Amino acid sequence: DDPVAIAHLAIDAGADLVIGNHPHWVQAVEAYAGGYVAYAHGNYIFDQDWSYETRVGVIGKYTFYDDQLIGVEYVPTLIENQAQPVPMVGEERQAVLDGMRDASQQLADLLAGG
């Protein structure tokens, strides 16, 4: 159950975009072999309020033109008031995006052997 290997297999088989799921935490993203992988968007409407990390999610906006992915944007959200996602703003929003960037760089370093 290696999510990286599974995502790469899907891209190698012709997928343009792979969106993973399950860890309930926002995960890394990766450009791979002409495709794009978002390993997990975190939580969006799942009421797991026992930790900050399980209350955070992102809405992924993926823009295609013909068969090409031409744009990716993430809107960080926080679960509040019985599973209601609320868009984050300011420093909190930026911290989620920075965390995605850092996780993505760590994954790239790991895959590069470093």
Expressed as residue numbers, the domain containing 47 is: 3-111
Domain total of the chain: 1
Quick one: 42 exposed, middle or buried, by C-beta within 10 A (0-12, 13-18, 19+)? Answer: buried
pLDDT tens track for 18-74 = 999 888 889 999 999 999 999 999 987 777 777 888 899 999 999 999 988 999 999
pLDDT score of 114: 61
pLDDT tens track for 72-109 = 999 999 998 878 899 999 999 999 999 999 999 999 99
What sections of the chain are H helices per DSSP? 3-12, 90-111
- How many angstroms separate the CA atoms of 101 and 95, rounded? 10
Q: What's the pTM?
A: 0.89
